[in-house]
A and B are shown apart, each in its own frame.
Chain A
Amino acid sequence: MTSQADNYQAENYYEPEKNIGEVVLDVRDLRTYLYTRWGITKAVDGLNFQVRAGETLGIVGESGCGKSMTALTLLRLAPKPAARIVSGEIFLDGENILERPENEMRFVRGQKISMILQDPMTSLNPVFTIGNQMVEALGMYYQEEQQRGLRDRAVDILRRMGVAAPERRVMDFPHQMSGGMKQRVVGAMAIAGTPRVLICDEPTTALDVTIQAQYLRLLKQVQAESGVSIIFITHDMGVVAKMCDRALVMYAGRVVEQGDIRTLFKNPSHPYTKALMASVPSMEEKHVDKLYSIEGQPPALFDLPVGCRFANRCEFVTDKCIETYPPSFANEQGHSADCWLLEGQSEWRQVTEAGV
């Protein structure tokens, strides 16, 4: 396991001098439930985390663990009427945005918090030009500016996102561009309002591998220039290692482990995190008969067990795990995990109640 962590760090190809500042986003006990005919789906179930200025926070987990719902909740765009934010606070720049009236959320979206969606092929509107879609957004961020000025800004931002010949590209429609180019345009739209926080929901999953690396480098560059905080959602541990300063591991709507990248990879403490890391193929082992995979399925989010949610798939499961949800244990490096195995170990200290 240790050699693998070193491996990831060695791959980290671009690391500008990070300037991490004060807390920009502070999420407390956030719960988003979906009220469906099958019951209440607890997509996001008690999330606590902070993001500092200029920092990249990874959110990792398998499909359906609540990553994307978390992202949409942060923008207050979880699909209505099914989704409801049942509790919690989202402090963005010191303001709890859950207290804003809905019609004033649009001054937050794009300008304080923005998002890059997963699939560039569908996230641009096919019937408007790139320029039109950018200028319309910029027109809201810079209300006194004339059309000309807005267009110049659009061209400028596209250039910063690595779009070649942006003066001509603004007249193009999305279908005239490649997937990688479209994702750059989506990125340009997301940073157009100079947000404090940029959520990237698997932005490179739909791109081919050569473009992926370019795009990730571009995001780092944008961050270095603007100091934007990035929340990077992915299921790819390799990308987390390259991109993030800290990461949350989500499982069935909860954060089961969080910490800075180095300690997380060196010392994964939750069995789920360990299993996730073990399922990444290693470069060093030449002969692998079978790739490691985690047996079983995550529990249905509308029918969650009372105990640890990973219990049914965990190698180290005990009766206690099945009976009571474990508390969070934290160590001195700010690394924390929800797991009974850590109870009583000298460096781990219990920080929350059990069974919540």
Chain B
Amino acid sequence: MQRYIIIRLIQSVFTLIGVSIIVFSLARLSGNPLDVLLPDEADDETFIRISELWGLNDPWYIQYFTFVKNASRGEFGPSFKWQGRTAMELVILHLPATLQLASISIGVSVLLAVPIGVMSAVKKGTMLDTVGKLIALLGQSLPSFWLAIVLIWIFAVQLGWFPTSGRGGFSNMVLPAVALGWFSVASFMRLTRSSMLNVLDSEYIKLARIKGLPEWKVVWKHGLKNAAIPPLTVFGAIVVGQMTGSVTIETVFAWPGVGLLALQAVNARDYQVIQAVTMFISVLFIGMNLLIDILYAYIDPRIRFN
């Protein structure tokens, strides 16, 4: 088990290096930031001076190593757009809003999706299964930005139950959490259902019944633990997706999270912030996958021992 974790950790480090190269180069591909940041009437001298100041004239590999050195200390440099703030500060500043929204939405997704998914599989072909499938179908096919706008129109504008946008009390969270979470509920539920259906068909489930185990134990112990792996894989992606803030949802609801920050940074070609956000998301993603890999091994001994 320890060896397994160590190997996964080393693999993660390599992934991280790969990501840093991609993040670094992608930002450079979007053009010279000074074209956007400096006013049109800025003269060549200012151009050269600022380029010099920010190291934009150095060869790319020097720029890359500077980037890695600073990034490993959490320094991504000052923001171009938000003067007087560092990129990391901005990410940390926007993080609580995103975390708050994501944790509510993920928590509710899991609490809804797992039981409905399992029960749809157990009661395949019944009313419950049909309702479950409908929820999943809608969740996976409605674009979240459209859903967000429709939710605002119905529940905020027409009915006035919730505020239209912004961050505040609990009522502010309901609509964005629903808009953000529905898709996750859908994909999570579908996977749980199909995975569970496979497992329920297996011989060891038959054996568990032959032994005389009560049905709840057959389903929730013998069934669910075996069925957990495919949904768990998606769970990792969903968690990261929501933590990094769905850009569209945060934009529609003017939710001051990391997603909104990223969008604004991209619009302003704010290299440092883009890099900080992207690296942050990547580290989160890699960390999450590592955690999921460890969970796999915990669930399935065949992974643990190989």
Contact = CB atoms under 8 A, between A and B. Distances in A.
Interface of A: 75, 77, 81, 103, 105-111, 114-115, 117, 119, 122-128, 136-137, 140-141, 173, 175-176, 186, 189-190, 192-193
B204 A110 contact: no
Q: Most B CB atoms within 10 A — which of A103, A137, A190?
A: A137
B212 A122 contact: no
Interface size for chain B: under 10, 10 to 19, 20 to 34, or 35 or more residues?
20 to 34
Contacts of B215: 103
Contact of A140 (B206, B207, B213, B221): B213
Contact of A108 (B206, B207, B208, B212): B212
Nearest to A81: B125
Given A126-B300, A126-B302, A173-B301, A137 B211 contact: yes
Given A124-B204, A140-B212, 19 more contacts: A81-B125, A103-B214, A106-B213, A109-B212, A110-B210, A115-B210, A117-B206, A117-B207, A122-B203, A124-B207, A125-B204, A126-B226, A126-B301, A127-B299, A128-B225, A137-B211, A137-B212, A141-B212, A193-B211
B209 A109 contact: yes
20 contacts: A77-B209, A106-B212, A114-B210, A123-B203, A123-B206, A125-B226, A126-B300, A126-B301, A127-B300, A136-B213, A136-B217, A137-B213, A140-B212, A141-B212, A175-B305, A189-B207, A189-B211, A190-B210, A193-B211, A193-B212
Contacts of A108: 212
Contact of A117 (B203, B299, B305): B203
Interface in B202-245: 202-204, 206-215, 217, 221-222, 225-226
A221 B225 CA distance: 36
Nearest to A126: B302
Contacts of B305: 173, 175-176
Nearest to B223: A125
**3 nearest A-B pairs in the assembled complex, by CB-CB distance:** A110-B212, A109-B212, A125-B204
A124 B225 CA distance: 14
Contacts of B301: 126-127, 173, 175
Contacts of A111: 212
Contacts of B225: 127-128
